[in-house]
Amino acid sequence: MSDESSQESFERPFRLFAVEDRVLAQNVDGKVIDIGAMESKNGQFCARLDSGDLATEPRRSPELALKALVGKLSFDYLDGLFTSEREAEVSGRLQDYPSVEFELDES
């Protein structure tokens, strides 16, 4: 068996945003979808996805909750959400909300 394909990396960029009480995701094409909730309690923030059973432990800021969520995501899972979900309506500029940029390996 050839091992060449495992040496090639296909990193795809994504961004997560904490917009009020929701978690939005943006792909390289600029499509924005609503993927979950950003819960806030006693100064702690927890990101919880609507589909599946993915959630973060409480963190001190929305950015830290988003970063913790990134570690739980796979390319196939997130790409599947972009295929099935309709584009989210966003009022205001996404750049003004807490966010995190990351890449997931497509292979």
pLDDT of residue 8: 64
What value does the mean pLDDT take over residues 27-46?
Answer: 96
In terms of Cα–Cα distance, which of 6, 28, 4 is closest to 107? 6
pLDDT of residue 106: 86
Backbone angles phi, psi at 72, to 5 degrees: -100, -5
pTM for the structure as a whole: 0.88
Q: Name the 3-class secondary structure at 19.
A: strand
The answer to whether residue 1 scores a pLDDT higher than 60 is no
**pLDDT tens sequence across 49-80:** 998 789 999 999 999 999 999 999 999 999 99
Q: pLDDT class for 26, splitting at 50, 70, 90?
A: very high
What gap in Å lies between CA 27 and CA 6, rounded to an integer? 23
Average pLDDT across the chain, whole number: 91
What value does the mean pLDDT take over residues 85-89?
Answer: 94
